[in-house]
Amino acid sequence: MYTDKMLRDDALKGKNIVVTGGGSGLGKAMTKYFLELGARVAITSRDLEKLQHTARELEDETGGTCLPVACDVRHYDQVEAMLKQVLDNFGQVDVLLNNAAGNFISPTERLSANAFDTIIDIVLKGSKNCTLAFGKHWIAGKQQNTVVLNIVTTYSWTGSAYVVPSATAKAGVLAMTRSLAVEWAKYGIRFNAIAPGPFPTKGAWDRLLPGELKEKFDLARKVPLKRVGEHQELANLAAYLVSDFAAYLNGEVITIDGGEWLKGAGQFNLLDQIPEAMWDMLENTIRKNSR
Ligand code: HXC
Ligand code: NAP
């Protein structure tokens, strides 16, 4: 079953992982599975109370160790302080999961300069701040076998109307993933990215499908597999990518979207709408006309 847990028990034992934006949504789901697999996980975001609540809940559910740390990823000094707090508690950190994000739908001409900057700052500058601070730490300490996993989107490469700051920033995060996968491989740091399709969360759905849009734009209909993603499916992929089983995987972006973005891309994909019964007639017409 695709919602089953994939990796063997203790697959992440001994790993210390930082998940930005780990207090809610997909970050929380991935954190939960990492804890179940034996990792210690620090979750960070701007809202300490939310993080403390999530950490307690996940520790109760999994018996693992989850450390809540307040950190606005837009500020490099806060990221350095967060790293120090994680090191003070865990002694070592092995994995950085850049998952924190900000986004909302808007025609671009309605955005203030500050609105555009806010998204770029959370997504691109935030991922850069964490990557740079953790990378410098790992390189200075000659620590090997470390991992950065970035959560991007499929519009990192297609672009998308109405979420232009997010698309611009996620494209930058993907470029950083591929660039550093090569440059920092010599330091034993692996970089990969996941591009999820629609995985319902409150954070994303409130800002991308507000009010009636939830019913009007049923995202499952856009997916060839005719459903949205289950959080455990994403958690399974993330756990594999940060684990030692993925030791030879570097510089890759893995799409997990049920075929959604390709459906929008293929020139004749819309022929899906042709009823089965019509194909005999169409074939006859083609044969006749091409004689
Ligand atoms: C236009 C808006 C706006 C809106 C805010 N702004 N919301 N402009 N339309 N709906 C403007 C504000 O007026 C302000 O500009 C600027 O943006 C900053 O807003 P603040 O509220 O001051 O910022 P902040 O408190 O930092 O909050 C950031 C946020 C908020 C992004 C606006 O939504 C947030 O905290 N989001 C975090 C969680 C999140 O977004 N999760 C969804 C990720 S989903 P002015 O000029 O007035 O100062 C995702 C999915 C991708 O990434 C793919 C899905 C398939
Ligand atoms: P979410 O629950 O809103 O997650 C976003 C997280 O980022 C929140 O926990 C938020 O916590 C944190 N955050 C926002 N601004 C921050 C800042 N300045 N500093 C630190 N943390 C900050 O939404 P989600 O759907 O789970 O999204 C998680 C990731 O998946 C994002 O990268 C998103 O782009 C990606 N994604 C989601 C989907 C989907 O369908 N859900 C699809 C493709 C990609 P605080 O508010 O407490 O700071």
Q: What does the DSSP assignment read for 87-101?
A: HHHHS---EEEE---
| Six token digits for residue 162 | 């109405």
Q: Is 75 in the pocket of ligand 1 (CB under 6 A)?
A: no
Question: Is the minimum distance from the CB of 166 to ligand 1 under 6 angstroms?
Answer: yes
Nearest-CA residue for ligand 2 atom 34 is 101
Q: Exposed (0-12), middle (13-18) or buried (19+): which is 240, by Cβ within 10 Å?
A: middle
If DSSP codes are grouped into helix, strand and coil, which group holds residue 38? coil
Q: Which ligand ends up closest to the CA of 229?
A: 2
Query: Could you tell me if the CB of 99 is within 6 A of ligand 1?
Result: no
234-261 pLDDT, tens digit per residue, is 999 999 999 999 999 999 999 999 999 9
Decide whether any atom of ligand 1 lies within 6 Å of the 25 Cβ. no
122 C-alpha to ligand 1 centroid (Å): 10
Give the mutation target among 109, 155, 207 for probing the ligand 1 site: most ligand atoms within 8 A of CB.
Answer: 207
Confidence of residue 291 (pLDDT cuts 50, 70, 90): confident
Alpha carbon of 23 to ligand 2 centroid (Å): 9
Contact 3, 80 (CB under 8 A): no
Q: Is the pLDDT of residue 87 over 90?
A: yes
- 68 Cβ inside 6 Å of ligand 1: no
- Mean pLDDT in residue range 12-25: 98
Please report, rounded to a whole number, the percentage of residues in the chain having pLDDT higher than 90. 98
Q: Is the pLDDT of residue 1 over 90?
A: no
Q: Which ligand is nearest to the CA of 163?
A: 1
Residue 288 is predicted with a pLDDT of: 97
Q: Which domains does the chain have, with CATH numbers?
A: 16-289 (3.40.50.720)
DSSP E strand boundaries for 10-140? 16-20, 40-45, 66-70, 95-98
103-161, pLDDT tens digit by residue? 999 999 999 999 999 999 999 999 999 999 999 999 999 999 999 999 999 999 999 99
Residue whose CA lies nearest to ligand 2 atom number 18: 72
Q: CB–CB of 44/19 below 8 Å?
A: yes
**Which among 24, 52, 257 is the best mutation to test ligand 2's pocket, defined by most ligand atoms within 8 Å of the CB?**
24
Report the residue among 28, 46, 149 best suited for mutation to probe ligand 2: largest number of ligand atoms under 8 A from its CB: 46
Q: Which residues are catalytic?
A: 155
Confidence at residue 243, expressed as pLDDT on a 0 to 100 scale:
98
Dist CA 213 CA 228 (whole Å): 16
User: Which atom belonging to ligand 1 lies closest to the Cα atom of 110?
Assistant: 1
Residues with CB under 6 A from ligand 2: 20-21, 23-27, 45-47, 50, 72-74, 99-102, 122, 126, 151, 153, 196, 198-199, 201, 203-204
Average pLDDT value for the chain: 98
Which whole number is the average pLDDT over 159-186? 98
| Model pTM score | 0.98
Q: What is the 3-state secondary structure (H, E, C) of 134-169?
A: HHHHHHHCCCCCEEEEEECCCHHHHCCCCCHHHHHH
What is the number of the ligand 1 atom nearest to the C-alpha of 104? 10
